[in-house]
Structure 1
Amino acid sequence: MSAYVGRFAPTPSGPLHLGSLLAAVVSWLDARGQQGRWHLRIDDIDRPRVAAGASDAILRALDCHGLGWDGPVRYQSRRGQAYQEAAERLYGAGHLFACTCSRQQVLATGRIGWEGPVYPGTCRTGPPHSRDTHALRLRVRQRYWEIEDRALGPVAFDLQALGGDFVVRRADGLFAYQLVTVVDDLALGVTDVVRGIDLLGSVPRQMHLYQALEQTPPRYLHHPVVVARDHRKLAKSHGAAPVRCRDAVPALARILTAIGVPDLDPEMTGSGSGTVTMLLEHALRHWHPARLPVDPIATAALQHRG
């Protein structure tokens, strides 16, 4: 077994759709293509977003598409103590500060970055507002970051333009995505994070957390995402249809074609006697990140025909 450790971490706000299935396939291929481990984590930390039965539906969909995982399924909702301990460590080392600013107060400053409002540093030296609750923000000490993305090549980031000091625990006590992802990836020993390009802006925030925790960050590979006709990312919140196990072979074949897997025989794509095992074995023989398309993948390229 190689040192490669990957993971797929869906949010159970609904069943898998073509976009999330594509993300799972790319992640699985990259791990199995390097004889690595592939873990499944259910990112259910944000309980208001969790849909009843969604976790079980995700597991069934992955299974019927041949995407088996290693070890037990992890659930973020069960790891609150680990997040609390990480936050206490960061706070004790001076990396976090209490922030009583509301979103409206941050927006009122009028500073808008690439991904939304830029935090102006209001509470860095102590909260000026009187509130019963407060968030915890990471004190950004390094503005510029660079990575060598395994699909995109060199990518540079300006963390100030991305929003500056960022929240790691919300005012309602819920730990934020950036912190829980880093803590959980460290616990799994993840060496390679493979995910959609819509999460590219998370890289410098998470690298800053790795640095603050005195840990080595993983390698990154960001792949294209599936977009709908309105050019928005395909998502459950926009009514994306769930994948169906009875359509596993043709759906998987269309995804493999869309991500650049060559030489798919018609006998493997649903018109003959193909199986998901045959498709994935073929994909593993041809998998390489360099074959991933540069542009987003339109849903039209994934529609069933015939």
Structure 2
Amino acid sequence: MTSTDYRGRFAPSPTGPLHFGSLVAALASFLEARCHQGQWLVRIEDLDPLREPPEATGQILRSLDAHGLMADDAVRFQSRRHEAYQAAIDRLLETGHAYRCVCSRKELAQHHGRHPHQCRDGHIAAGDQPFAVRFALTDETSHWQDQLLGPQVQTVAAELDDPVILRKEGFYAYQLAVVVDDIDQGITHVVRGSDLLDMTAQQQQVYRALGATPPHWLHIPVILNDQGQKLSKQTHAPALDDTRPSDNLVQALAALGQEPPTELTRESVEQVLAWGIRHWRRAAAHLTAR
């Protein structure tokens, strides 16, 4: 591959400082890009100000810098991209790939996922009452090749699985924004945690509805705490200690099954990353799955 063939990215939500699980995901995507002589981008998915402490974005970017994970282009902030997301929603509504939905979660639960207001039939007009916008899925059994997990099959059901792409509160949803930005930034390969695997088939339909080819997918095992929970702000994952970047990177390499030598912790960040690039074995990450 040449540098124009591979464009990857790391796209955290700034709900808190970078923790070890996030570092593992960032490092895996970075090493994949570097091993393919490709480009690696950083995107801050700051779409939900109610869940985002104002200091979190700066903390994340400082942690990435401390660990030598430098993006090949300017950092993108989704909070500055509302016009692009609205344009995509307008296009999806016009082409019949999206619809306005006034149903509450309680109503959908009571009707087993069906829309009691017949929202998919286009009965809901803008301004009638608060509404979300949902993507209109097509019944599909989706097949694709995950670059780590191998052949994947997912079945999605129209109406029952239709994801929200604009929330009633007016916030643009992850399922839309991530696709719009991946298309706009020319992302060819997505490395992310396996906790996002289940939404892949839905996202592939959004890519196609917007006239784009879905990227190649690689889902790495998520990092768990001692209670078997995914490391996250919700499970009180501690922030990375940015004063120990080489040690953190060596631990992340070990979590990815790369078997770094213990003496690597005494080397500089640049030397640790260089070792990681030289010895990166994608398949070894699969062995760490729990």
TM over 0.5: yes
- TM score, norm. by length of structure 2: 0.93
CA deviations on 1:91-132 (whole Å, 9 max, x unpaired) are 1111111111011111222x3xxxxxx455742224589961
Matched residue, 2:169:
172
Secondary structure at 2:244 match in 1: helix
Matched residue, 2:198:
201
Give the aligned residue type for 2:22. Answer: S
CA deviations on 1:106-160 (whole Å, 9 max, x unpaired) are 1222x3xxxxxx4557422245899611111111123211110000000000112
Distance 2:115 2:193 in 1: 29
How many residue pairs match? The answer is 286
- TM score, norm. by length of structure 1: 0.88
| CA spacing shift, 1:292–1:119, aligned 2, 3 Å | farther
Query: Which residue of the other structure, out of 107, 119, 124, is the alignment partner of 2:120?
Result: 124
Q: Does 1:39 align with 2:36?
A: no
| CA spacing shift, 1:152–1:106, aligned 2, 3 Å | same
Secondary structure at 2:120 match in 1: coil
Secondary structure at 2:234 match in 1: helix
Secondary structure at 1:201 match in 2: helix
| CA spacing shift, 1:95–1:234, aligned 2, 3 Å | same
Matched residue, 1:291:
284
Give the aligned residue type for 2:185. Answer: L
Distance 2:195 2:158 in 1: 16
1:163 deviates by: 4.5
| CA spacing shift, 1:88–1:131, aligned 2, 3 Å | closer
CA deviations on 1:221-261 (whole Å, 9 max, x unpaired) are 00001111221111012211000111211111111112121
1:287 deviates by: 1.0
Distance 2:193 2:214 in 1: 18
Q: Is the 8 A contact 1:151 1:222 kept in 2?
A: yes
Matched residue, 1:115:
none
Matched residue, 2:6:
4
1:266 deviates by: 3.0
Give the aligned residue type for 1:293. Answer: H
Secondary structure at 1:133 match in 2: coil
| CA spacing shift, 1:211–1:242, aligned 2, 3 Å | same
Matched residue, 1:73:
75
1:47 deviates by: 1.3
CA deviations on 1:60-108 (whole Å, 9 max, x unpaired) are 1111111111111100000000001001111111111111101111122
Structure 2 segments unaligned to the other structure (5+ residues): none
Q: Does 1:212 align with 2:205?
A: no
Secondary structure at 1:137 match in 2: strand
Q: Is the 8 A contact 2:138 2:158 kept in 1?
A: no
CA deviations on 1:143-185 (whole Å, 9 max, x unpaired) are 2111100000000001129952221111122111111000001
Matched residue, 2:133:
136
Structure 1 segments unaligned to the other structure (5+ residues): 112-117, 298-306
Q: Is the 8 A contact 1:40 1:73 kept in 2?
A: yes
Distance 2:158 2:89 in 1: 24
Q: Does 1:182 align with 2:179?
A: yes
| CA spacing shift, 1:123–1:101, aligned 2, 3 Å | same
Matched residue, 2:272:
279
Matched residue, 2:262:
266
CA deviations on 1:190-223 (whole Å, 9 max, x unpaired) are 0001100000012111100111111111000000
1:34 deviates by: 0.6
Q: Is the 8 A contact 1:119 1:164 kept in 2?
A: no
